[in-house]
Amino acid sequence: MLLIPCPYCGERAEGEFRYGGEAHFRRPDNHLEATDEAWADYLFMRKNPKGWHRERWMHLAGCRRWFYVVRHTITHKIATAYKVGDAHPDLPA
Amino acid sequence: MSQDFRLAQGGRIDREKPLRFLFDGHAYEGFAGDTLASAMLANGIHLVSRSFKYHRPRGIYGLGVEEPNALVETGIGAGIEPNARATTVELADGLIANSQNRWPSLRFDLGAVADLASPLLSAGFYYKTFMSPAGGWKIYEWLIRRAAGVGHAPELPDPDRYEHSYAHADVLVVGAGPAGLAAALAAGRAGARVMLVDDQVEPGGQLLNTPYAINGRPAPEWVAEATAELDRLPDVRRLARTLALGVYDHGYVACVERAIPVSQGRVRWRERLWRVRAKEIVVATGAIERAIIFDGNDRPGTMLASAARAYAVRYGVAAGQRAVVFANNDDAYRTALDLANAGVEVAAVVDLRHDLSGALPGMARERGLRVLAGHGIVGGRGRTRIKAVEAAPVDDPSNRQVIECDLLAVSGGWNPALHLYAHAGGKAAYDSGLAAFVPGAPAERMTIAGAAAGRFQLADCLADGARLGAEAARRAGFSAGPALVLDAPEPEPDSRIGPVASPSRGGKRFVDLHNDVTEADLRLAVTEGYRSVEHAKRYTTWGMGPDQGKTGNILGLNVLSDALGQPVPQVGTTTFRPPYHPVSFGALAGRETGDLVVPTRKTPMDSWHAEAGALFEPVGQWRRAKAYPKPGESLHAAADREVRAAREGVGLFDASTLGKIDMSGPGAETLIERVYCNNFASLKPGHARYGLMLGEDGMVKDDGVTARLGPDHFHMTTTTGGAAGVYVWIEDWLQTEWLDLEVFLTSVTEQWAVATLSGPKARQVLGPLTDVDLSAAAFPFMSFREGRVAGMPARIFRVSFSGDLSYEINVPARHGLALWQALMESGRPHGITPYGTEALHILRAEKGYIVVGHETDGTITPADLGMEAMVSKKKDFLGRRSLVRSGMSGPGRKHLVGLMTKDPARVLPMGAQILERPSEARPVPMIGHVTSSYHSPTMKRGIAMALVKNGRARMGDTVYLPLLDGPTVAAEVVKPVFYDPEGARRDG
Amino acid sequence: MRRYSFVQLLRNAVGLGDGWQQAWRSPEPKSSYDVVIVGGGGHGLATAYYLAKNHGVRNIAVLEKGWLGGGNTGRNTTVVRSNYLWDESAAIYEHSLKLWEGLTRDLNYNLMFSQRGLVMLAHTEHELNEASRRVHANRLNGIDAEIWSREQTLAFIPILNGSKDIRYPVIGSSIQKRAGIARHDAVAWGFARAADALGVDIIQNCEVTAIRRDGSRVVGLDTTRGAIDARKVGLVAAGHSSVLAGLAGFRLPIESHPLQAMVSEPIKPVLDTVVMSGTVHAYVSQSDKGELVMGAGIDAFNSYAQRGSLPILEEIASAMIELFPIVSRLKVLRSWGGIVDICPDASPIIGKTPVDGLYINCGWGTGGFKATPGSGWVLADTIANDRPHPLAAPFSLNRFSSGRLIDEHGAAAVAH
């Protein structure tokens, strides 16, 4: 049971949240003209890093806001959380 | 028998409170404060079990959770617990215990033939045989399964209750020995919110049986004082009988608390799982003594030295009358001295080390104890109880001497209990001086104090605890309180440890008592190439029994180290995983069993359905009325009747479970346009439209009717099952991608109760109750009106999922039941009939309306469903780009069609697969499957919807459906609308 | 390879044997191989074995970062079945199941493959309909499958909660009688021993640090035990696939999640088949040793930690008690986590990659163990012939561009 630092509500247990996977992958611009490959890249391809991961969470049982978390996928350590629209913080070393 | 081995004095048991218990049908007596194990030993019971593989006689070996042998069955009937450790079972009056894994009796166990066959049963033998004849494994396995297993499961459901509790702590201290008590005091004095958990009945740990003093007074007095102070501190919570099972991410710790046993009736709860979120964790779990490898090291009467000591000092029990202590370290001499002081004759201390210059061996010699330096135990006598040991010089193992004894206390040194540290991701480091693993780099939020950190001296434990407790409190934001001054002089120990194995003369040398794994097994594994520690473990099952190798881990590593010619740290260590000690399913589940296993969502009208005798079905968490059968009526007949009513007269359906999302704001129209693939911009306020929602992959995701309440205000409905997912998904787009849209979404599924009136007489039922003009001209199909129904504020949607005239009446949830009753009352003259989900499905299938999840399965596009005309060519919407991928069109796609069986009485089974032509070949290519199939009371025949490859090009064709245990049925491909294709009845 | 048999065992027991050989060698890596398989789990070892056995390739190495079978092979709940919904899945899993049926004797290693049947419970009408669809399809695909009534189901599994008055009563089930369980470690060891006997070099403690290319073609690997040239490379490393693909310069449609499992203390036999429940969410069998082996759910978040969270264990405990009320007083002995690579359509990826000479086998999610021999068979064929084996063709990486996914989500509502 992770402890997720909601930027609006503070630290809450993971059970209150919905996980949304990798953050900041972009829908291709002019996506209707995008190639099948570019579109598949957006739809399905993921970084899935072993290490720091920018990811999306929604505080479903709280403020119901989507936000971003930087979390390590081996240690599960959370470096920071930030709101939509905030500058993306650097990944820890 | 009456406690012949109870010492005349001493111990922390209450001699005023005798407790009776049964073991294998014989009555015995112990005292309050005993464990089952100490009470058994007080009665001279050593033989308590048979081992897993060879069925060798085994006795009580340890003191607590490390126990590998003394697994017994406690309780009777529904209250049976198999594999209970006698060492952790608190004695209660009337306790019933039985031995396990033996037949016909513990003393004469036929299973012991396995011991005679042991040369055949070497490590991994089962991988090398039982391969012939082909298929023979079924028989071998049947036999093996019956020989394996330990205890028997109860045959009845558990009558007891289990609880879950949450707690938050600034500092969680695990273990209430010297280090733990000091840590809790230091953190508590700093004002931190402290939780102190300990698995024993009383706090103190090793202090309960140490002869040494703290601040000049007997250690138990300090324990009492410290405990009293902790109990006075308002923010300190102390839990006894509570074992920390596992450490999870971000300071989340699972602990299980056992109830105080009662002699009669049932406890209020049997076990309670504590889920503690701790800012800081101080691990003061102490250390576990380990065994020594020697020939025949499993005879009953052989036990850990620390256990023998504690039984004598803490429980006032002589585990034997004449003891031999077998040691490779100085601490064992404390046992020898304590046993001697308690009145047990110590025949000899056999020490594998040559040089015994420490203070403790000196004290033993002074006390007149016989010390055999540089000696090992090379054999023994006795089958169900040890009678004598053979000792010999390490350098000359054949030069044996026989020492008679009935207790062999073994000490192979101590292993810090690093399980929780490992759970937290800690990587232990090997300390060759201690011949043990100690904590390496710090784990998150965790510090380790005292013996758990490999610091075994009492003064060190106390100092560690005081320091780390204060530091933990400081990190949690509290400044230090009054300092703890603790003085605990002890004899200076010689920390040198001897080898953990005695010379061998060829007997069985166990490294894992429970699983009967011997040194030879491990060496065989290495010979056969299972050189990784994990391979050796898995090949031999070393450390995989119920005790998870708590006493044999280091022994095995030493064997592997020797066999591989590598130092122990290079051999590696296996990983400790939660739970630290086995935990019941009941405790993990808590109250989430039975009716509470998953929350039951009920609609506001649920009580009416129940009273009407509705047959319910679970739909996700909801319970929904499937039909309202009359007495003696089948589901099928009830659904038929309900369908006919809704077609010919009027029916009433509880549609409250439909997902509902309220959307308002200037961006609402744009939002709706983006999430539905069909046009909504042209929808006028007061009107409603069916919407189809796709995932970004172009597949149908959800559907429902959405009404425009005002220019910037929409009421969206979703499927019952899709409600939560759709809401989160739209919020996701709105909040993270479409920041330019100002829209507020509110999930209002539970705010509105919905009753659907359906059938030609619907207007007559609703009319008298409402101020809304229901005439077709004033309130046409696919429109919406706000008004009052039976005096309640209501939103009425004229939509239809049955294909007949239909009104969906929404009222605030609190009025749901009243609305339902009012409609039933108003409908009585018209023969109103409540109908359930079964009839609903038949009604909609007659019209060819899809249900997401029946006609779709995540692989179906709008075009597959024949809805491509709906899909907007002008606007952009989620999933649009995916629809033009190469795999999304062409003759390979499946189309939604109708099927009419040639035999009208035949109802196809749901899911039946479709062939182009009859065939007996297997595998055979299939062209589709039945998605929905019912007997239609309206059409008076079987009807089905199906997804068929290139189905729209097959209209009029005959296809074939081989049934599971019956004929192949022929059916004609038709359009998927069976009833009123023009929609005249719906629009009227 | 000296064959295992009862006679051998007896001879060694009475001291007439000449001892046991090592099951596989521990060779130093050579500087060059025809084929290098990255990943010494069941799938990788099976690939190497069938490359040597079926295709006569002799110069093969299997590189394993840690110890053989230490990934998901040694961490799963050992279920073997082939009753998948879609034709493509059914074909490859059935091919695998047929290999399982002869594998113990083929490898001369007792894998304890126990065809004790697998019952998938249905608690809701919808579940029963889905089961019916799957069973109809299985039968036409030549796979044994039946629909059972509630009564048949309860008679077959006496400890199942048969009450009608519970949250999710059992209303029926589907069963595959040829399904069952096997001894997971033995699969890795059996394949390793047989592959070694055919000359395959199995190299443990050897981590790949780089994949070397010459233009669009793979030419070798850098490892913690030195550089190794290779004409062809197969990546078969569940739980690390994305990282390896990253080394080769392409991405995968995969996310890695922890999947937890746990075992109870050993008890005498109470459960003679494998039981899966989608609605109550559990799957369980009883090992020959007597432990109840249970699969739990997947943590929602990405993770490479081989451990899971407590709520998942609480859920499986509740589900177990709901299904089998007698387990409440039994005890959970051990829990652990594996890393599963989940594809968007819950189906694997097998075949060629954007890099010539580089092949991949990944994305099995929770279903990899049962596919071990079949997956090794088709990947070996794909590598040997540099074209997808017919059974592997539908599982190509490019299905994600065309949209021709093989969506097994519906059929695999519960992880297995």
Residues contacting A28, CB < 8 A, separation 6+: A34, A38, A39, A42
Q: Is the pLDDT of residue B988 over 80?
A: no
For B195-227, write each residue's pLDDT tens digit. 999 999 999 999 998 888 999 999 999 999 999
For B700-730, write each residue's pLDDT tens digit. 999 999 999 999 999 999 999 999 999 999 9
> Is B885 in Cβ contact with C104 (below 8 Å)?
no
Of how many residues is chain B composed? 988
DSSP B274-298: EEEEEEEEEE---EEE---B-TTTT
Average pLDDT over residues B388-398: 96
Contacts with C251 from chain A: Cβ below 8 Å: 41, 45-47
> Is C139 in Cβ contact with B922 (below 8 Å)?
yes
Give the residue from B275, B732, B736, B876 with the most A CB atoms within 10 Å of its CB, the best one to mutate: B736
Nearest of B624, B627, B625 to residue B643 by alpha carbon: B627
Tally C-beta pairs within 8 A across A and C.
68
For B439-467, write each residue's pLDDT tens digit. 999 999 999 999 999 999 999 999 999 99
Average pLDDT over residues C298-309: 90
Give the residue from B588, B592, B626 with the most C CB atoms within 10 Å of its CB, the best one to mutate: B588
Chains that touch B (3 or more CB pairs under 8 A): A, C
**Count of CB atoms within 10 A of residue B52's CB?**
29
- Domains in chain A, start-ordered, CATH in brackets? 3-83 (3.30.2270.10)
Which pLDDT score is estimated for B740?
95
Any C CB within 8 A of B82 CB: yes
**Nearest CA of chain C to the CA of B18: how many Å?**
28
> Can you give the C-alpha Rg of chain C in angstroms?
21
**Which residue in B126, B531, B911 is closest to C129 by CB distance?**
B911
For residues C187 and C204, the answer to whether their CB atoms sit within 8 Å is no
> Is B277 in Cβ contact with A60 (below 8 Å)?
no
- The residue of chain B with its CA nearest to that of C312 is B588
Nearest of C76, C397, C40 to residue C258 by alpha carbon: C76
| CA pair distance B94, B76, nearest whole angstrom | 11
Cβ-count burial B909-936 (b if 16+ within 10 Å, e if not): bbbbbbbbeeeeeebbebbbbbbbbbbb
**Which residue in C254, C304, C344 is closest to A50 by CB distance?**
C304
Query: What one-character DSSP code corresponds to residue B367?
Result: T
**Nearest CA of chain C to the CA of A38: how many Å?**
8
**Which residue in B250, B251, B736 is closest to A66 by CB distance?**
B736
Average pLDDT over residues B729-756: 96
Any B CB within 8 A of A31 CB: yes
Which pLDDT score is estimated for C414?
37
> Is B444 in Cβ contact with A77 (below 8 Å)?
yes
Average pLDDT over residues B415-436: 94
DSSP B452-498: GGT--SHHHHHHHHHHHHHHHHHHTT----SPP------PPP-----
Any A CB within 8 A of B662 CB: no
Q: Which residues of C sit within 8 Å Cβ distance of A?
A: 240, 242-243, 251-256, 300-305, 309-311, 344, 400-402
Which residues pair with residue B371 across a beta bridge?
A: B349
Which pLDDT score is estimated for C415?
36
Any C CB within 8 A of B611 CB: no
Average pLDDT over residues B550-579: 92
> Which C residues, 128 through 157, put their C-beta within 8 Å of a C-beta on chain B?
128-137, 139-142, 146-147
Q: Which pair of tokens denotes residue B724?
A: 């939560």
Any C CB within 8 A of B725 CB: no
| CA pair distance C211, C245, nearest whole angstrom | 9
Which pLDDT score is estimated for C406?
87
Contacts with A7 from chain B: Cβ below 8 Å: none
Mean pLDDT across chain C: 94
Q: Is the pLDDT of residue B618 over 70?
A: yes
Average pLDDT over residues B94-112: 94
Average pLDDT over residues B467-476: 98
Q: How confident is the model at residue C411 (pLDDT cuts 50, 70, 90)?
A: very low
Q: How confident is the model at residue C283 (pLDDT cuts 50, 70, 90)?
A: very high
What's the 3-state SS for C222-288?
A: EECCEEEEEEEEEECCCCCHHHHHHHHCCCECCEEEEEEEEEECCECCCCCCEEEECCCCEEEEECC
| CA pair distance B171, C227, nearest whole angstrom | 50
> Is A39 in Cβ contact with C253 (below 8 Å)?
no
Intra-chain end-to-end CA distance of chain C, in Å:
35
Any B CB within 8 A of A26 CB: no
> Is B929 in Cβ contact with C136 (below 8 Å)?
yes
Contacts with C242 from chain A: Cβ below 8 Å: 46-50
ipTM of this complex > 0.95?
yes
- The residue of chain A with its CA nearest to that of C254 is A46
Contacts with A58 from chain B: Cβ below 8 Å: 728, 731-732
Contacts with B739 from chain A: Cβ below 8 Å: 84-85
For C54-75, write each residue's pLDDT tens digit. 999 999 999 999 999 999 999 9
Any B CB within 8 A of C31 CB: no
Average pLDDT over residues B471-475: 98
Q: Is the pLDDT of residue C412 over 80?
A: no
Q: How confident is the model at residue B984 (pLDDT cuts 50, 70, 90)?
A: confident
Average pLDDT over residues B566-570: 93
Which pLDDT score is estimated for C410?
57
Contacts with A84 from chain B: Cβ below 8 Å: 735-736, 739
> Is A32 in Cβ contact with B732 (below 8 Å)?
no
Average pLDDT over residues C132-144: 97
Contacts with B593 from chain C: Cβ below 8 Å: 318, 321-322, 328
- The residue of chain B with its CA nearest to that of A42 is B696
For residues B47 and B385, the answer to whether their CB atoms sit within 8 Å is yes
Contacts with C274 from chain B: Cβ below 8 Å: none
Which pLDDT score is estimated for C413?
39
Q: Report the share of chain B in percent with pLDDT over 90.
A: 94
For B771-812, write each residue's pLDDT tens digit. 999 999 999 999 999 999 999 999 999 999 999 999 999 999
For B515-528, write each residue's pLDDT tens digit. 999 999 999 999 99
> Is B737 in Cβ contact with A36 (below 8 Å)?
no
For A54-66, write each residue's pLDDT tens digit. 999 999 999 999 9
| CA pair distance B936, B379, nearest whole angstrom | 83
Average pLDDT over residues C101-123: 97
Any B CB within 8 A of A63 CB: no
Any C CB within 8 A of B872 CB: no
For B822-836, write each residue's pLDDT tens digit. 999 999 999 999 999
Contacts with C285 from chain B: Cβ below 8 Å: none
**Max Cα distance, chain C (Å):** 67
Mean pLDDT across chain B: 95
> Is A37 in Cβ contact with C253 (below 8 Å)?
no
- Phi and psi (nearest 5°) for B424? -80, 5
Contacts with A79 from chain B: Cβ below 8 Å: none
Contacts with A60 from chain B: Cβ below 8 Å: 728
> Is B728 in Cβ contact with A60 (below 8 Å)?
yes
For B130-179, write each residue's pLDDT tens digit. 998 888 999 999 999 999 999 999 999 999 999 999 999 999 999 999 99
| CA pair distance C183, B540, nearest whole angstrom | 14
Q: Which pair of tokens denotes residue B300?
A: 């009953």
Q: Is the pLDDT of residue B575 over 90?
A: no
